[in-house]
């Protein structure tokens, strides 16, 4: 049974019944209501398994305020024969033993949620665990590409269909012509599959070598405007100062947009559908939830730069930056398919 509708778990009653809830930390509280209703017989049992990704909810409470009602088990990946030491060392090297990524993915501990982290890991994990299917005719299609600048950085190309993000291609290297070709190929696949009537915004990281990708895409469209009617190119500069009441630069603004889309509650505190469904990608989850922020002298929020992240021993947030590009709101020109 999928954990998206409470009705799917109703109607099960027997003297001996066992419910097994996998990835329980990401399951919404309402799903557990019919389960509790079925645990009325002496032989009824509930087994919940999963990484402890959330700092609230039914699974979290079973290890905290409701712990007396449960028998809890903790498994540290460092002590498990099913977890390779290479994986453990990779997480330590990339994110540190003091990170929430290490606590959740390796140590099996609930995240600490550091005060200076802008997007909590719990929001990211909740989005990843949310079930969603792209409709046959999505009302929104966006393409984003974070372009590699240095040898260890990755070029990451992805697309967003309505709420759901999908990574299309990741690779190392700075071949701008190949990157432009990859973006064109992705766009043509989306046009063929979804038959959009409006142009597709293509948002490109325009810093460094990204300018070459922008120039190449514009050249392709000029040479064959009828074939590539769907291309609408938007160069984006990360870290650019902006005039905003709360946010210092473009990167901070984009992070704020993503955080708002991930929030499960509206401004009045009422539950709302998540407006961004993220891919199940460990690098992306760590990058989005590992970026710190501070207040400038004029009390504006500023996200730490890539350079500052690397000083802390963190990798370049390439996958996360692709997410930021995909979620950046734009006002496309009113053009329809010829």
Return the CA Rg of the chain: 22
Q: For the chain, what is the mean pLDDT?
A: 88
Q: Distance between CA atoms of 274 and 128, rounded to whole angstroms? A: 10
Examine the pLDDT at 127 and tell me if it is beyond 60: yes
Share of the chain above pLDDT 70, in %: 96
Examine the pLDDT at 276 and tell me if it is beyond 90: yes
Examine the pLDDT at 227 and tell me if it is beyond 90: yes
* Strand 301-303 relative to strand 200-205, pairing: unpaired
Q: Distance between CA atoms of 48 and 74, rounded to whole angstroms? A: 12
Share of the chain above pLDDT 90, in %: 51
pLDDT at 112: 76
Q: Choose among 252, 237, 254, 258: nearest CA to 303.
A: 252
Q: What is the mean pLDDT of residues 69-97?
A: 88
Q: What angle do the packed helices 282-289 and 318-327 form, to 10 degrees? A: 80
Q: What angle do the packed helices 250-262 and 318-327 form, to 10 degrees? A: 80
* Strand 164-172 relative to strand 200-205, pairing: unpaired
pLDDT at 331: 79
Q: Distance between CA atoms of 237 and 149, rounded to whole angstroms? A: 13
pLDDT at 180: 95
Examine the pLDDT at 114 and tell me if it is beyond 70: no
**Comparison of pLDDT for 278 and 93, the residue scoring more:** 278
* Three-state DSSP state, 194: helix
pLDDT at 332: 66
Q: What is the mean pLDDT of residues 102-110?
A: 89
Q: What is the mean pLDDT of residues 37-47?
A: 89
pLDDT at 336: 56
Q: Distance between CA atoms of 253 and 265, rounded to whole angstroms? A: 20
**Comparison of pLDDT for 338 and 296, the residue scoring more:** 296
pLDDT, tens only, 197-222: 999 999 999 988 899 999 999 999 99
Examine the pLDDT at 335 and tell me if it is beyond 70: no
Contact 248, 241 (CB under 8 A): yes
| Cα distances (angstroms) measured from residue 46 to each of 4, 37, 50, 209, 246 | 18, 11, 14, 54, 46
Pair of tokens at residue 272? 């709302």
pTM for the model stands at 0.72
Q: Distance between CA atoms of 317 and 306, rounded to whole angstroms? A: 7
Q: Distance between CA atoms of 258 and 276, rounded to whole angstroms? A: 8
Examine the pLDDT at 286 and tell me if it is beyond 80: yes
Q: Distance between CA atoms of 191 and 214, rounded to whole angstroms? A: 20
**Comparison of pLDDT for 43 and 337, the residue scoring more:** 43
| Cα distances (angstroms) measured from residue 227 to each of 34, 191, 207, 279 | 53, 11, 28, 30
């Amino acid at each position: 049974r999928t954990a998206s509708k409470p009705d799917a778990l109703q109607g099960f009653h027997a003297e001996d019944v066992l419910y097994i809830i996998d990835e329980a930390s990401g399951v919404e509280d309402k799903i557990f209501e019919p389960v509790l209703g079925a645990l009325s017989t002496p032989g009824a049992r509930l087994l919940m398994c999963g990484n402890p990704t959330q700092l609230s909810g039914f699974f979290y409470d079973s290890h905290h305020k409701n712990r007396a009602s449960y028998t809890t088990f903790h498994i540290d990946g460092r002590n498990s024969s099913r977890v390779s030491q290479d994986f453990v060392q990779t997480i330590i090297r990339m994110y540190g033993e003091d990170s929430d990524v290490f606590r959740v993915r390796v140590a099996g501990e609930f995240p600490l949620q550091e005060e200076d982290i802008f997007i909590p890991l719990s929001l990211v994990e909740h989005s990843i665990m949310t079930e969603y299917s792209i409709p046959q005719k999505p009302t929104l299609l966006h393409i984003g590409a974070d372009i590699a600048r240095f040898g260890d950085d990755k070029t990451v190309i992805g697309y967003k269909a309505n709420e759901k993000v999908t990574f299309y291609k990741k690779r190392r290297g700075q071949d701008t012509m190949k990157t432009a070709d990859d973006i064109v190929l992705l766009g043509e696949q989306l046009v063929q599959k979804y038959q959009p009537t409006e142009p597709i915004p293509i948002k490109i990281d325009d810093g460094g070598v990204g300018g070459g990708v922008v120039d190449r895409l514009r050249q392709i469209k000029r040479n064959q405007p009828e074939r590539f009617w769907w291309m609408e190119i938007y160069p984006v500069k990360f870290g650019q100062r902006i005039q905003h009441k709360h946010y210092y630069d473009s990167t901070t603004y984009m992070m704020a947009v993503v955080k708002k889309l991930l929030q499960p509650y509206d401004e009045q505190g009422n539950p709302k559908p998540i407006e961004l469904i993220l891919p199940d990608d460990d690098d992306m989850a760590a990058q989005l939830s590992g970026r710190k922020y501070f207040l400038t002298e004029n009390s504006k929020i500023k996200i730490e730069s890539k350079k500052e992240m690397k000083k802390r021993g963190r990798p370049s947030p390439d996958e996360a930056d692709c997410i930021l590009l995909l979620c950046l709101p734009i006002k496309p020109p009113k053009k329809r398919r010829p």
